[in-house]
Amino acid sequence: MKPPVLRLKRGRDPRVRVHPWIFKGDVADVSDVEPGAVVTIVDVAGRFVGRGLYNPRPALCCRVVTWRDEAVGDALLRRRIAVAVARRTEHGALPTLGRLVWSEADGLPGLVVDRYGPVAVVQCLTLGMARRRRDLVSALREAIGDVPVFSADEPGQATLEGFDPARTWLDEHGPDHVIVEEGAVKIGVTFGQGHKTGLYLDQRENRLRVAAHAAGCDVLDAFSYTAGFACHALVAGARRAVCLESSPEAISGAHENFKLNDVADRARIVAGNAFDELRRLDRSGERFGLVVLDPPPFARGRDALDAAARGYKEVNLRAMRLLAPGGVLATFSCSHHVSAEMFEAICREAAGDAGVSLRVLDRLTQSADHPEALTIPETRYLKGVLLHAV
């Protein structure tokens, strides 16, 4: 059976063959197709472009899975999963903590798979992937062995795509709570709770890198989630850490992590709005040798860019004022719409207003298991700068 056809408005312009996103506005016409099904994409002249998964509901209505004239079926998805897993296998072993499949960057748009020790967590971001969930999980088990699989769909994204988010064990039940090791630090994860698939795995390498500047310091971990940065800093020899966080679930996770790492006596978490707390700390005259600033994405869409820029400038300005002489600031943005250049320009303005001179020690990005596809700029979304107050 031949897949239905989606015809683009444009010809074979160079962008068509390198970026897998097709928006409703790009589509000239599409034959009658079941939501979530495979379509053959052709250009305005009817020439083959690729095949992808279609959903008439969201503005981003089709994600290309292949640019070749091949079937998008179980065999192809199985192969892609096997390749994604093989990419992350080193010396015959898979890391016990990390991302195994990352959506577009692994040729599986709409599918995320993370490993937390004995458990795999699957997140379907599109209807097309959600409909194929069972087959994808069987392919995953073929690649990594027979592990319990927790499904952690994001309700907002599922609503956008028009499917019921699954937040449950898929068949075989696994442990609801595990303790994973990230370098020298232990971190608790409760499946179905918290953000992302449990942890911000994209910051895994940065937590290790930033901790290298922590010895002997007073540390401020702003927007701390479950205090991953603070725990790493304390285990690496920081004197004490203050965390700022607003989510009660994250705060209770942070308390657990302080205990797990035997650092509770040196750690404090302040529940509340980090914007207000940064201001309060400044007024109280506290200063820190290491400040980590890892806010949520302030710009969820392009239209929110101005407000996001103001938000980033404000928190960075406050954080810079809190640096002790010779202190280090690790500042991040995970907004897709804020480029690395724009983020650094904002930091530059903040430094100007704060009246501090900062030297760039390093530029940071997401962990290597969240690879960047050169032709899909959205796959480089986490930007960080490590700055040294001089």
The answer to whether residue 116 forms part of the interface with ligand SAH (CB under 6 A) is no
Rounded to 5 degrees, φ, ψ at 170 are -80, -45
Closest to 52 (Cα-Cα) out of 15, 14, 11, 4: 4
Residue ranges in 178-227 assigned as alpha helix (H)? 204-211
Distance CA 261, CA 272 (A): 24
Tell me how many helices (H) and strands (E) the chain has.
10, 20
- Closest to ligand SAH by CB, 203 vs 335, is 203
- Using CB under 6 A, count the residues that bind ligand SAH: 21
The answer to whether residue 200 forms part of the interface with ligand SAH (CB under 6 A) is yes
- Closest to ligand SAH by CB, 126 vs 367, is 367
Closest to 280 (Cα-Cα) out of 321, 248, 313: 321
What is the DSSP secondary-structure string of 89-144? Answer: -BTTB--SEEEEEEGGGGT-TTEEEEEETTEEEEEE-SHHHHHTHHHHHHHHHHHH
Among 54, 150, 225, 298, binds ligand SAH (CB under 6 A): 225
Among 81, 236, 250, 330, binds ligand SAH (CB under 6 A): 250
- Closest to ligand SAH by CB, 157 vs 247, is 247
Residue type, 307: A
User: Which CA distances in Å does 163 have to 3, 166, 305, 348?
Assistant: 22, 9, 29, 43
CB of 298 to ligand SAH, least distance (A): 9
The one segment of 37-45, 238-246, 348-356, 374-382 that binds ligand SAH by CB under 6 A: 238-246
Element housing 61 (H / E): strand 60-66
The answer to whether residue 203 forms part of the interface with ligand SAH (CB under 6 A) is yes
Compose the 58-97 pattern: x for residues touching ligand SAH by CB under 6 A, - for all others.
----------------------------------------
Distance CA 47, CA 27 (A): 14
CB of 252 to ligand SAH, least distance (A): 12
Q: Around Cβ 47, how many Cβ atoms within 10 Å?
A: 10
Tell me, yes or no, if 334 is annotated catalytic: yes
The answer to whether residue 193 forms part of the interface with ligand SAH (CB under 6 A) is no
Distance CA 20, CA 125 (A): 15
CB of 320 to ligand SAH, least distance (A): 18
The one segment of 49-57, 220-228, 346-354, 360-368 that binds ligand SAH by CB under 6 A: 220-228
Using an 8 Å Cβ cutoff, are 261 and 185 in contact? yes
Using an 8 Å Cβ cutoff, are 358 and 351 in contact? yes
Using an 8 Å Cβ cutoff, are 85 and 144 in contact? yes
CB of 311 to ligand SAH, least distance (A): 9
Distance CA 198, CA 192 (A): 7
The answer to whether residue 224 forms part of the interface with ligand SAH (CB under 6 A) is yes
The answer to whether residue 150 forms part of the interface with ligand SAH (CB under 6 A) is no
Compose the 276-305 pattern: x for residues touching ligand SAH by CB under 6 A, - for all others.
------------------xxx---------
The answer to whether residue 183 forms part of the interface with ligand SAH (CB under 6 A) is no
The answer to whether residue 228 forms part of the interface with ligand SAH (CB under 6 A) is yes
Strands 149-152 and 119-124: parallel
The answer to whether residue 247 forms part of the interface with ligand SAH (CB under 6 A) is yes
The answer to whether residue 229 forms part of the interface with ligand SAH (CB under 6 A) is yes
Instruction: Give the residue numbers marked as catalytic.
Output: 334
Binding site for ligand SAH (CB under 6 A): 195, 200, 203, 207, 223-226, 228-229, 244-247, 250, 273-275, 294-296
